[in-house]
Amino acid sequence: MLELQHVSFEVNDEGNGKEILRDISLTIPDGALTVITGPNGGGKSTLAKLIAGIITPTSGKILFDGEDITTMSITDRAKKGIGFAFQQPVRFKGIQVFDLIKLATGEKLSSVDACKYLSAVGLCARDYINREVNASLSGGELKRIEIATVLAKASKLSVFDEPEAGIDLWSFQNLIEVFEDMRRTISDSSILIISHQERILNIADEIIVLKEGQLQYCGPKEEVLPKLNGTDSSIPGCGKGMLKKGEDQKC
């Protein structure tokens, strides 16, 4: 279980302190899929980076299974069981997909087992396992590989920062299935997804809405989702990725 207590994050904007997150207190429960949503610039990705340890809060505390991890390094948090999928995956010259998945599992891995993770994200494993994680891969391919590394890490808390960004319309359904599968086998671990997509919100157990750096709503999907409709935090009805094959776009 992850707990944020009065977390704020400020950046220095031309000599003036600019608050990105203000006094956020929330809990990401075990055994659940939680989605953080809200308008662009609301502080969602900042929150994800605070959880992974890439940045440290200006004030407040972060507790993971009761332990204060506020100042803990990225590496130590990863070892404690926090996984993080980047919104914009990183490229590496010379490092192959197999190498990255092997590093993620932290143990010796056969290529057959590594392929399992690639298949799960809808990539033909044989074609990708020996590819370099470099600029020869498209944005969508990189994104799936990024998600595969987080699947392979099998963390207690897996954080996905906008997993749908860069994924084409037809692969989006696969992605939803990946998260549904994760949700089914979740047991005492938890999943946190930053997303704008209604279909991802629909598979959530808990929804958190961030707006202008503040917590707007937080609670079970059934309670939060109706509140989103008709507000400026709501998701436009014609959002990308929501069309079915053959369906016309009406907006």
Give contact residues for another protein (rule: CB under 8 A): 52, 54, 73-75, 78-79, 82-84, 86, 89-90, 92-96, 99-100, 103-104, 106, 149, 153
**Residue whose entry in the numeric block shows the structure tokens 């016309």:** 248
Cα separation, 196 vs 202, in Å, equals: 11
Token pair belonging to 66 = 């009761």
Cα separation, 40 vs 211, in Å, equals: 8
Q: Which is nearer to another protein, 63 or 74 (CB)?
A: 74
Q: Which is nearer to another protein, 78 or 203 (CB)?
A: 78
Cα separation, 73 vs 157, in Å, equals: 16
Instruction: Tell me the closest approach of the beta carbon of residue 85 to another protein, in angstroms.
Output: 9
Q: Which is nearer to another protein, 55 or 242 (CB)?
A: 55
CA nearest to 225, candidates 21, 37, 55: 37
Beta strands in 39-183 (DSSP E): 59-64, 67-68, 82-85, 157-161
Instruction: Tell me the closest approach of the beta carbon of residue 219 to another protein, in angstroms.
Output: 29
Q: Which is nearer to another protein, 42 or 89 (CB)?
A: 89
Instruction: Tell me the closest approach of the beta carbon of residue 167 to another protein, in angstroms.
Output: 19
Cα separation, 126 vs 3, in Å, equals: 40
Cα separation, 99 vs 131, in Å, equals: 10
Instruction: Tell me the closest approach of the beta carbon of residue 142 to another protein, in angstroms.
Output: 11
Query: Quick one: DSSP state of residue 235?
Result: P
Instruction: Tell me the closest approach of the beta carbon of residue 135 to another protein, in angstroms.
Output: 12
Q: Which is nearer to another protein, 27 or 96 (CB)?
A: 96
**Residue whose entry in the numeric block shows the structure tokens 């190498």:** 99
Instruction: Tell me the closest approach of the beta carbon of residue 49 to another protein, in angstroms.
Output: 9
Q: Which is nearer to another protein, 33 or 100 (CB)?
A: 100
Q: Which H or E run contains 37?
A: strand 33-37
